[in-house]
Amino acid sequence: MTNPYRQLPALAALLERPELVSVRATAGRDDVANALRTELETLRQRIAAGESPDGDLDPERIVERARISVERDSRAILRTVINATGIVLHTNLGRSPLPESAARAAFEAASGYLNLELDLETGERSSRQDPIRDGIRRLTGAEAATAVNNCAAATVIALRALAAGKEVVVSRGQLVEIGGGFRIPEILAVSGARLREVGTTNRTRIADYEKAIGPETGAILRVHASNFRIRGFTESVGIADLAALGRRHGLPVIDDIGSGAAVDLDLFASSGEPRVGDGIRAGADLVLFSGDKLLGGPQAGIVAGRKELIARIEKDPLMRAFRLDKMTLAALEATLRLYRDPERALRDVPTLRMLTVSLAELRTRAERIAERLRSVPGLDASALDDEAFAGGGSLPDRALPTVVVAMKAQGLSEDEMARRLRTGRPAVLARIQDGSVRLDPRTVFEHQEDELVSAVRSAVAGSP
Ligand SMILES: *Cc1c(COP(=O)(O)O)cnc(C)c1O
């Protein structure tokens, strides 16, 4: 009997096979050699265990398995997905897609050098915050502005710079959890300020704040409810009254609005979403909001308000840890620039465009996609009226009427179909409801429609 190990092809010979030329060029020789080694080792173990792997020993099969394994490993974990959920600010899918000008600015900042902290006129050092200050001032009416990594960081650094070691007065109705571990009491604790709760969950009056203010008080904080609403027997104190109270006692009033509308839209007004300038106009000393919620820009925490307070925040040692990187700064500057003309912002900021797209347009697109999908064998697809939510803690109780493509595939459960779509290439994220898998064109870019149709086709045809 021949030695079974003799049947194993030699690594060096496998490595030179023509089927591996392209994968060797992209993944590199070492990775391909390692994958082949792993395949050979597996076969060796199977032989040692008394198996006869026969066909699996065929060099063509070994090379093919190694090639698939290298390609799988070399595929980036983060990749573009098609968001067909209809949820515009989908936190797990990266919230706001950037406006094209912002994405381009980030790309250029990333791939070269830029005057990040240099004034090109004078040749002197400048602040990296300078390029974004003006845009935020225009939007909010504030006299000064700065930005950090996200709104959570903005809250921490504002509380720390203004009230570390002191008490911060907050209504019990505003001790919220935003999601992803952002809880106001914990944020306050890490800032070094002490929480002074006032009022009750549903009702807090100005007198409650007044009573809590004393020598230990460092600031008054208002937090927007973001992802929930309290209804019924409720009472809360508006920012104008809080601002007046703060002025009487010489205390800064911080308004954490989280999201905030930067353009005037009925949709925002009727959802009770504060405009980013409301707090400043009403007399708040600082307003905090996210760059990647309704503003529709990169992830950032924007701080707008009184010059002296912004200066204190920028001097805080945490600023070094929380400051924005060059790509984000470039993207934020470009996003803010679009708001100089609100019409332009509505057209060019994808988040705003998706939130305001007309029902008629959604219907046309859903019907067009459904029509194309009806040619997929075994698939039933039709346009259907439905509802979607903005997401990201914005407009929480406001269902947006939409039109989806509702799909059913023969012999395929909704869960299995959704799984295949999610793990396909490109990955497609859909909603499941009432026995159908639903694709909402609101969050699908028009240029993705071809890919979407072929992704559904592959998902129905077989597991990827
Ligand atoms: C979303 C939100 C935050 C957190 O913002 P991130 O940018 O996600 O860190 C903070 N406060 C409020 C009121 C929010 O809605």
Check residues 270 and 352 and name the one with the higher pLDDT: 352
Are the CB atoms for 66 and 39 separated by under 8 Å?
yes
Asked if 32 and 15 touch (Cβ cutoff 8 Å), the reply is yes
pTM of the model: 0.89
Specify the pLDDT at position 297: 98
Integer Cα distance of 27 and 448 in angstroms: 28
CB 366 within 8 A of CB 404: yes
Mutate to test the pocket of ligand 1, among 92, 96, 178, 223 (most ligand atoms within 8 A of CB): 178
More confident residue, 2 or 98: 98
CB 209 within 8 A of CB 237: yes
- Per DSSP, the three-state class of 430 is coil
Task: State how far the Cα of 128 lies from the Cα of 184, in Å rounded to an integer.
Answer: 29
Ramachandran region, residue 23 (left: φ > 0; alpha: ψ -120 to 50; beta: rest): alpha
Q: How much is the average pLDDT of 346-369?
A: 97
* pLDDT given for residue 395 in this prediction: 86
Residue in the structure block whose two tokens are 């990749």:
79
Does the pLDDT value for residue 3 go beyond 60?
yes
Residue 71's pLDDT is 85
Give 172's DSSP letter: G
If you take atom 1 of ligand 1, which residue's CA is the nearest one?
258
Report the pLDDT value the prediction gives residue 359, as an integer from 0 to 100.
97
The fraction of the chain above a pLDDT of 90, given in percent, is 84
Q: Is 290 in the pocket of ligand 1 (CB under 6 A)?
A: yes
Minimum mean pLDDT range among 28-42, 95-109, 173-187: 173-187
Q: Is 152 in the pocket of ligand 1 (CB under 6 A)?
A: yes
How many other C-beta atoms can be found within 10 angstroms of the C-beta atom of residue 73? 11
* Amino acid at position 184, single letter: I
**Which secondary-structure segment (H or E) carries 419?**
helix 414-423
Is residue 182 predicted with pLDDT exceeding 90?
no
DSSP class of residue 285 equals S
Give 94-103 pLDDT, tens digit per residue.
999 999 999 9
Residue 244, pLDDT above cutoff 80: yes
Collect all residues with Cβ–Cβ distance below 8 Å to 78 and sequence separation of at least 6.
Answer: none
Q: How far apart are CA 190 and CA 358, in angstroms?
A: 44
State both tokens at 422. Answer: 């999610």
For range 368-383, the mean pLDDT = 97
Mutating to test ligand 1, I would choose from 155, 184, 290, 293 the residue with most ligand atoms within 8 A of its C-beta, which is: 290
Distance CA 284, CA 304 (A): 10
Q: Is 178 in the pocket of ligand 1 (CB under 6 A)?
A: yes
Q: Does residue 228 surpass a pLDDT of 90?
A: no
Residues 6 or more apart whose Cβ sits within 8 Å of residue 403: 359, 362, 363, 365, 366, 367, 383, 384, 385, 386, 441
- The answer on pLDDT for 464 being more than 80 is no
The response to whether residue 226 sits with its C-beta less than 6 Å from ligand 1 reads yes
Q: What is the pLDDT of residues 288-340, one digit of tens each?
A: 999 999 999 999 999 999 999 999 999 999 999 999 999 999 999 999 999 99
Cis peptide before 426 (omega within 30 of 0): yes
Distance CA 358, CA 353 (A): 9
Average pLDDT for residues 239-258, to the nearest whole number?
97
- Averaged pLDDT, 89-113: 97
Determine phi and psi for 395, rounding to 5 degrees.
Answer: 45, 55
* Residue 451 bridge partners (DSSP): none
pLDDT at 140: 97
Q: What is the mean pLDDT of the chain?
A: 94
Q: Give pLDDT tens digits for 397-442.
A: 788 999 999 999 999 999 999 999 999 989 999 999 999 999 999 9
Per-residue pLDDT, averaged over 21-32, amounts to 90
What confidence score (pLDDT) does residue 1 get?
53
Residue predicted with more confidence, 392 or 161: 161
Q: What is the mean pLDDT of the segment spanning 278-288? A: 97
**Highest mean pLDDT of the ranges 1-5, 42-46, 277-281:** 277-281
**Amino acid letter, 110:** A
Distance CA 436, CA 438 (A): 6
91 CA closest ligand 1 atom index: 8
260 lines ligand 1 (CB under 6 A): no
Q: How many CB atoms lie within 10 A of CB 128?
A: 17
Residues 340-365, mean pLDDT to the nearest whole number: 97
Does residue 436 sit in helix, strand or coil? strand
Closest of 396, 128, 443, 94 to residue 258, by C-alpha: 396
Helix or strand or coil: residue 384? strand
Give Dmax (Cα) for the chain: 99
Cβ atoms of 249 and 217 closer than 8 Å: yes
Contact call for residues 336 and 135 (beta carbons, < 8 A): yes
* Ligand 1 and 223: CB distance under 6 A: yes
Q: Do the Cβ atoms of 443 and 87 come closer than 8 Å?
A: yes
Q: From atom 5 of ligand 1, which residue's Cα is the shortest distance away?
A: 151
Q: How far is CA 209 from the centre of its chain?
A: 35
From the list 236, 128, 121, 125, the residue with the least C-alpha distance to 176 is 236
